[in-house]
Amino acid sequence: MKNYIAAITLALLVAGCSGNPAADKSDNSNKADSITAPTLEAVFADSTYQLTGVAVSTHGRVFTNYPYWLDQHAYSVVEVVNGKALPYPDSSWNSFTKGENGQNKFVCVQSVVTDDKGNLWVVDAAGIGLGAVYQRSNKVVKINLANNRIERIYRFPQNVAGADVYLNDIRIDNQNGFAYMTSSSNGGIVVLNTNTGESRFVMGNHTSVLSDTAYHFSPLGTELQKGDGNVLKVNSDGIALTPDNQWLYYKPLTDDKLYRISTALLRNFQTPLQTIADSVKDLGHFVTTDGMIFDNKGNLYLGDLEKSSIVKITPDLKIQTLVTDTARLIWPDSYSISPDGYLYISTSQIQCMPWFHKGTDKIQRPFHIYRLKI
């Protein structure tokens, strides 16, 4: 557990262990206007294991993942079938134990995402307990949902995703043949050519990928502290592609700033790193969120971790609160939009973990996946 507490500075996320409203922020420049709230519907519950991601296929299949953060861990990727979690794509890929070779098994899966071509993409950060990459086994796995077989495994050179890079979320552009990932440890974006397998690390240490040290991230009403007494700071995390694949939106987790960059610059691996850095667009202050996702109309959905809410940012950068639920939206984590127009939401309760409460577990089990009509 000591290693886990020390390692939390490398990675992720959090909203309200006891259901108490988080402290109101007065420095956001884009105030949220409430609209008629849709209803949260429970889709899946797990009373044992902590989940983070959620992915819904074009045929309505639902997937989630369990990162290997604490000692209690079983499967990494599952398909939810009739309310039960079935290891996916099979038990062998979900059978990793410490000490084994993790090259062809899931080690510590951070996120799952489906695309428009019928594939499931699995980001294996391989950072057990949010620590360093385990035996260079971090990877991205592409699974064909038509036959449930692994189609390709993408691996990374050390100068792109070395031991100190915790790969977080991913977005897929099949039109141009690229994928984009955030590094939530040191801050940066990994660009992957999905046709050639070539990859590049960009924007390392850029202001836009580093959490603002002046922002007081307070999902429990007071600033969240780690076991070593330092406040939690998480770098680039949430990531989303516009419907036309022309813009990549991203942000650090523990502040409220939002940024975007032209994907044309990222897709050309000859673009100078300084040119990319100089082209980042600062969109202003919004909310602290973990994941985020665009719908096909260009609306961006995020979770407000400090207010246990789901919000929508319209194409003209107006923000609306869709639903607030301090009892259920405890660290809304990841998102997926189903073909029938539902926003699926995983809740990971990260702020309730022992890491932030001197070893006391304040998680309110079960962990849930919800959905709401958008």
Angstrom distance (rounded) from CA 269 to CA 296: 28
Six-digit token pair at 59? Answer: 């045929």
| pLDDT given for residue 7 in this prediction | 39
DSSP structure string for 112-153: EEE-TTSEEEEEE---GGG-S-GGG--EEEEEETTTTEEEEE
pLDDT by 10-residue block (mean), the chain, 374 residues: 38 47 41 62 97 98 97 95 98 97 98 98 97 97 98 98 97 98 96 98 96 95 87 94 98 97 98 98 98 98 98 97 97 98 97 91 95 97
How far from 238 is each of 30, 176, 241, 258, CA to CA, in Å? 18, 21, 11, 9
Domain extent listing, the chain: 2-373
Q: Which two tokens stand for residue 368?
A: 């849930």
pLDDT at position 17: 77
pTM: 0.91
CATH number, domain 2-373, options 3.50.30.30, 2.120.10.30, 3.30.1490.190, 3.40.50.620: 2.120.10.30
The structure tokens listed for 135 are 């035996």
Give every CB contact of residue 26 below 8 A, 6+ residues apart in sequence. none
Residue 79: other Cβ atoms inside 10 A: 20
The DSSP code for 185 is T
